[in-house]
Amino acid sequence: MAKEKLFEVVDLRISAYDDEGVEVPIVRGVSFDIHKGEVVALIGESGSGKTTISLASLAYTKPGLHFTGGQAKLYGKDVLTMAPLEQREIRGGNVAYLAQSAAATFNPAITIGEQVTESAVLHGRLNQEEATKRALELYHALELPGADRIGLRYPHQVSGGQLQRLMAAMALCGKPDLMVLDEPTTALDVTTQIEVLKAFKKVIREENSAAIYVTHDLAVVAQIADHIVVLYRGEIMEQGSADQIINHPTHAYTKRLMEAVRPRPESGMGVDASGDHDRVIDNIEVRNMTAGYGGIVDGEPVIPILKDINVSVKNGHVVGVIGESGCGKSTLARVMAGMLQPARGDIILDGKTLEGALKNRNLDELQKVQFVFQMADTALNPKQLIGNIIGRPLEFYHGLTGREKHAKVAEILEMVELPAAFANRYPMELSGGQKQRINLARALAASPEVMLCDEVTSALDSIVGANVIKLLTSLRDKTGVSFVFISHDLSTVASFADEIVVLYAGRVVEQGPTDEVLEPPFHPYTRLLISSVPEMRIGWLEDTMKRREMAVGIARGVEITAKGCPFYNRCPLAIEGTCQTLIPPTLELENGHQIACHLTLEDLQQAEADAQRILLGYEKLGHDDPQIHVP
């Protein structure tokens, strides 16, 4: 390649030492190059050593790890053997690191502008005045709203996606030679992810900077990387250009990673739940429910979150609840579980009205509704053995003790595909995916009728997450438990749920069978969500941004409104005057499919047809656009 070689990793080896001093290799001889203006993606599951390798560019290892061999050369000079003072110049000077969570990176007590310019000034690359000017240019380049004044604000005054972009400004301010981006979009929901990816891509191109992009998400990598390195357990499985890896993978492991990329949500994906479990009455239902935080005044919550929600879950069915962060998904599950008392409305289990407050529900009712927490790390008591964690609901609800209990624990462990010997372990001795299985197993142990799963796959990487979904599907088939499955990831929900509820700003904007919801006509918000799911195709990001709903929807954020349709400010089809003031009526379509919108069915279909014409335009340009289907 003609471009200048910037950074070179040669046979890098990094190891940890356990208590007995036995060497545990973490990175086993990895070599790759980065040229100027090139984005290299390191991809692999958790534990593949991708973050460890990327940190080597800063001559840094996490505590307990040691460089045991190889070189990491910046401009031909090995950073690993440099004197500490030289390394200090590299860190934040030549090489800038962007951590996964911007929220945890920014100091809440210092203005954004000060933090963005700090390292550039500290390293003497710019003086304060130049740095402030440069930061301002970057804010504009990153398309931050109110760019001229954003530097004067504090971190909590901007949204998560904006903070993530500001972190890029922080990294780029001192014009580093190399940026290290560690999973910068993983914790974001799809619409925010697009906003951040778009800004990163633009600024990387404009600045012609080189970057190491660490992620487990192939679809994201396809949008941003020039070169891809596939890692497994500290070894390179395959490396090549983005086009090669995405379109013509040769190694079996790469293909495996591809499979784990969740298919795009499309109509026809929904599973129709086994009819065997169907009963006449709904299993759990919420009616006209309004809930929020901060106490209740005059029958209205002080901080309203959910408004007039009607959702019902049939026996043995899976209802997926989707929406962006903050739309009230978790609140809905918490109300069902009794953790939050609704201000108004009823929760009905098997035809009987449930008490809103947890302490007023009886043991039988508690046992039938089980909540599965998002983070297995915090949901499992670190001081209890797995056997006790799973055994407790058995004892508590079903009175099992002694040998009977042990046998049942082993049985449940088998159900979640873990060895029975795990009963004698502590949660800390398990991996993330295994902990999530235990988390599910504890809920299963109660033999519930409804399991409320709150983002159970969000913290897991794609292969492990896919395994958990597979497990959930088999559990549903085996036990007939109904699920409320909450996720911000539409493709996960689509692959598992037979009904979908789309929440936006605390209201249900669309609900119905998965096949119907994923098939036109869509509520404009549903369409925004569907169009935002990244596709494993180079150039997808540019294509999708040409879409009308994306241009409006991505640029603006959620505004909670008391009246009218909450989505109107991001809706490309909003009717001026009507949508702001009137609560949208519910359009009743076939099979219980409902859309809350002022537009008529014909309008929505027309919008679909318009999108269709754009699709034809793309085809002329040689693109295909598989997300719109002709009914």
Partner 1 sequence: MTQQVTSKKEEEVIAELDSFAELPDSPPKRKFRLTWVGYVSSAVVAFWLIICVIGPSIAPFHEMDMEGDDSFLPAYSGEYGSFYLGTDYLSRDTLSRILYGARNTIGISLAATLIAYLIGITLGILAAVKGGWIDMGISRVNDAILALPTIMLGLIVIAALGSSIPILIGTAAVIYATSVFRIARALGQDIMVQDFVEAAQTRGEGIWWIIRAEVLPNAAMPLATDFGLRLVFVVLFISSLSFLGLGVQPPASDWGSMVRGNLGGLTYGSYAAIWPALAIASFTIAVNLIVDDISAKSGGSLAKKMV
Contact residues: partner 1, CB under 8 A: 16, 18-19, 28-29, 47, 62-65, 232-233, 235-241, 244, 250-253, 256, 337-339, 358, 361, 363, 366, 370-371, 373, 375, 378-384, 392-393, 396, 417, 419, 421-422, 424-426, 428-431, 433-434, 442, 446, 463-464, 467
Minimum distance of partner 1 from residue 63's CB (angstroms): 8
* Nearest residue (CB) to partner 1, 452 versus 597: 452
Minimum distance of partner 1 from residue 157's CB (angstroms): 25
- Taking the C-alpha atoms of residue 155 and residue 148, their distance in angstroms, rounded to an integer, is 15
* Nearest residue (CB) to partner 1, 428 versus 551: 428
| Residues 436 and 427: beta-carbon distance below 8 Å | no
* Nearest residue (CB) to partner 1, 95 versus 376: 376
ω into 521 cis (within 30 of 0): yes
* Nearest residue (CB) to partner 1, 396 versus 618: 396
Q: Give the chain's end-to-end CA distance (angstroms, integer).
A: 47
Minimum distance of partner 1 from residue 56's CB (angstroms): 16
* Nearest residue (CB) to partner 1, 32 versus 496: 32
Minimum distance of partner 1 from residue 244's CB (angstroms): 6
Minimum distance of partner 1 from residue 379's CB (angstroms): 4
Minimum distance of partner 1 from residue 388's CB (angstroms): 8
- Taking the C-alpha atoms of residue 337 and residue 484, their distance in angstroms, rounded to an integer, is 11
- Three-state SS sequence of 340-385: CCCCEEEEEECCEEECCCHHHCCHHHHHHEEEECCCHHHHCCCCCC
* Nearest residue (CB) to partner 1, 89 versus 365: 365
Minimum distance of partner 1 from residue 240's CB (angstroms): 4
- List the one residue out of 224, 218, 212, 130 whose CA is nearest residue 174: 130
- List the one residue out of 337, 414, 341, 419 whose CA is nearest residue 379: 337
| Residues 254 and 237: beta-carbon distance below 8 Å | yes
For residue 105, count CB atoms less than 10 angstroms from its CB and return exposed for 0-12, middle for 13-18, buried for 19 or more: middle
* Nearest residue (CB) to partner 1, 378 versus 600: 378
* Nearest residue (CB) to partner 1, 366 versus 529: 366
| Residues 79 and 73: beta-carbon distance below 8 Å | yes
Minimum distance of partner 1 from residue 183's CB (angstroms): 18
Question: CB within 8 A of 240, min separation 6: which ones?
Answer: 227, 228
Minimum distance of partner 1 from residue 400's CB (angstroms): 15
Single-letter amino acid code for the residue at 229: V
Minimum distance of partner 1 from residue 143's CB (angstroms): 35
Q: How many CA atoms lie within 13 A of 324 on its CB side?
A: 24
The C-alpha R_g of the chain, in whole angstroms, comes to 26
* Nearest residue (CB) to partner 1, 201 versus 392: 392
DSSP 8-state symbol, 174 = T
Strand order in the sheet with 77-78: 23-35, 5-17, 65-74, 77-78
